[in-house]
Amino acid sequence: MKIKFCSFFVFLFFLLTGPVWAVHPMESDNFKIDWPNLNMGAGLPSSDNYGLGVTTGQTAPGLYEGYGSTGFKVRAGFQYIHSLIPFTFTIDKIAVDFGVLTVGVGTTDTIGLTVSCGSAGGYTITAHENNPLTSSAASTIDDTTCDADDCDEVDAGTWTLSTTYGFGYGMSGTDVPGEFSGGKYKQYADLSLPTPETPQAVMTGSNAGRNKQATMTLKVNVSGLQAAGVYENIIIFIATPTY
């Protein structure tokens, strides 16, 4: 029996937490201000050789380092909300091939995920499947429910028994949700169901940083009753920075 995956698709969505207004009308029962730009300075002045980010109206803006400690910096001021670290998301392979499976022997492979993010609101990476592993003859390998029949796309569980069959994944590394601790596994959210399941976070962080790395461990285990064939599906990642 051979099981493989089609190519992975990575979708990047850049979201803002709310509308952005250069100026916003203010009003009450007795007055209205149509253009309430009350800044002492605004905009991004520039010339052929220089660009200037303006911070006004704050106490002690600027870059501070040292002051009796080593290895720390304080960046104070509105200009530091602008990302100093561009948002990037990469995976280290676009296909996983489990090869020929042995009945009752869990087979695993990994995908490395790397995120760099400098946005003020952090980021989230979610993952889901287009459908369960399916063969050309329309046979499927069910998503795992773990050893105690207690895991799904939301809740993780222990999966160590050779008699627990199915397909699932675990996560380890930086910014990984806590439910994966101890080597636990979950199902992928399935979008082919009559009521599609909600994609679940596989990495999420609120602190800026470069090259945050995590590992997704994919696992499949089949019984002797599983029909032979080549099984495949698509795992979709969605990367969302929040500004």
For residue 220, the domain's CATH number is 2.60.40
- Quick one: pLDDT at residue 43? 61
Q: What is the mean pLDDT of residues 57-86?
A: 69
- Quick one: pLDDT at residue 142? 96
Round to whole Å and give the CA distance between 156 and 184.
6
Instruction: Report yes or no on 43 lying in a domain.
Output: no
Instruction: Report yes or no on 47 lying in a domain.
Output: no
Structural domain total, the chain? 1
- Quick one: pLDDT at residue 8? 44
Instruction: Report yes or no on 169 lying in a domain.
Output: yes
> In whole angstroms, how far apart are CA 157 and each of 62, 149, 150?
47, 8, 6
- The tokens of 131 are what? 């459908």
Round to whole Å and give the CA distance between 132 and 113.
22
Give the confidence band of 161 by pLDDT, cuts at 50, 70, 90.
Answer: very high
Structural domain that includes position 161: 2-17+86-241
Global pTM value: 0.70
Instruction: Report yes or no on 79 lying in a domain.
Output: no
Q: pLDDT by residue (tens digit) across 168-199?
A: 999 999 999 999 999 999 999 999 999 999 99
Instruction: Report yes or no on 54 lying in a domain.
Output: no
Are 211 and 114 spatial neighbours (Cβ–Cβ below 8 Å)?
yes
**Three-state DSSP class for residue 133:** strand
Are 159 and 146 spatial neighbours (Cβ–Cβ below 8 Å)?
yes
